[in-house]
Amino acid sequence: MMAATATIHPTAIIDPQAVLGEGVDVGPYSVIGPNVRIGSGTRIGVHCVVEGYTTIGSDCQLFTGAVIGSIPQDLKYAGEKTELIIGDRNRIREYVTINPGTKGGGGKTVIGSDCLLMAYSHVAHDCLIGNHVIIANTTELAGHIEIEDGAVMGGLVGIHQFVRVGRLSITGGCSRVAQDIPPYSTCAGYPTQVFGLNNEGLRRAGVSAESKELLHKAFRLLFNSGLSMSHALERVAKEVAPCPEVTRLLEFIRQSKRGVCRA
């Protein structure tokens, strides 16, 4: 079903069962599959493919060659119905690839709203991406990765399966990420290490000076004291006054299954 105001290039192929909202624009030679739903105002560029059980929100933009919703690159996938859900106002640049979920991973890959996925980046099956996330060029996400709101991944970063990336963190280019990235941190390296707070990200998010000072104290104990992580967590709980950011940082570390990056 196609809205009356949708603009479809004559060379595009749209399955009659696909649902396109008001003002959707589909460019030359793009292909839209039967189980796709696209929200109002979204623009699909040239030579894009959108297939599978894929839902794309409103006011998104897909650039040349993006392949969205193709089956997971997982040998355990046996053709079962799984989903890819993408929110609103996302920019998905040239030749980005995004796969839906698998049965073993919950059946869904989810991307929030207001994200930027730069050229040639890849989001594998069962990833959960928050809002306002930036993933730079050629960064590759393996399966089951979770990236929280406001995180920034530099270019040419490789992220291992099941890693979590904390909110408002920034990871430098060419890093190899095999453990969780703590919230609010600046990380980089091969393997990735914590270098300190993401002060610019905290400023842009409007985090108060008081909370930033408490985070600095927590970071010194957690990542620069030489203590074991369990002892560092105890010290922070005793010596650093609670605030929402410190509380979230401690919760994230305690919930980690892969361990967190350290200095």
Residue 18 half-sphere exposure, CB side, CA atoms within 13 Å? 25
118 found inside a domain: yes
Residues 227 and 124 in one domain: no
Query: Is 120 in the same domain as 233?
Result: no
Active site residue 126: yes
Which of 117, 144, 171 represents a domain boundary (last residue)?
Answer: 144
Q: How many structural domains compose the chain?
A: 2
Q: Given 125, 130, 150, 172, which residue is catalytic?
A: 125
Domain assignment present for residue 236? The answer is: yes
pLDDT for the residue 150: 98
Over 83-136, what HEC string results? EEEECCCCEECCCCEECCCCHHHCCEEEECCCCEECCCCEECCCCEECCCCEEC
- Interhelix angle 209-223/244-254, rounded to 10 degrees, is 30
Beta carbons within 8 Å of 213's beta carbon, 6+ residues apart: none
Same domain for 136 and 223?
A: no
Structural domain including 113 reads 7-144
Distance CA 250, CA 22 (A): 45
CATH code (residue 233): 1.20.1180.10
Question: What is the SS3 assignment for 141?
Answer: strand
Distance, CA of 43 to CA of 150 (rounded, Å): 24
The DSSP output letter for 181 is B
Claim to verify: residue 129 and residue 248 sit in the same structural domain: no
pTM for the whole thing?
0.97
Strand, coil or helix: what is 81?
coil
The reply to whether 154 falls in a domain is: no
Q: Identify whether 155 is part of a domain.
A: no
In angstroms, rounded to a whole number, what is the distance separating the alpha carbons of residues 171 and 191?
A: 12
**pLDDT in the model for residue 100:** 98
Predicted local distance difference test score (pLDDT) of residue 88: 99
* Residue 12 and residue 82 in one domain: yes
Candidates 126, 132, 154, 166; catalytic one: 126
Residue 179, domain member (yes or no) = no
Domain shared by 211 and 139, yes or no: no
Cα–chain-centroid distance for residue 139?
A: 11
* CATH code assigned at 85: 2.160.10.10
Last residue in a domain, options 96, 115, 144: 144
- Per-10-residue mean pLDDT for the chain, 263 residues long? 86 98 98 98 98 98 98 96 98 98 97 98 98 98 98 98 98 98 98 97 97 98 96 97 97 98 91
Tokens of 131: 């809002």
Residue tagged active-site, from 143, 150, 154, 166: 143
> In the prediction, which pLDDT does 3 show?
78
Q: Are 27 and 10 within 8 A, CB to CB?
A: no
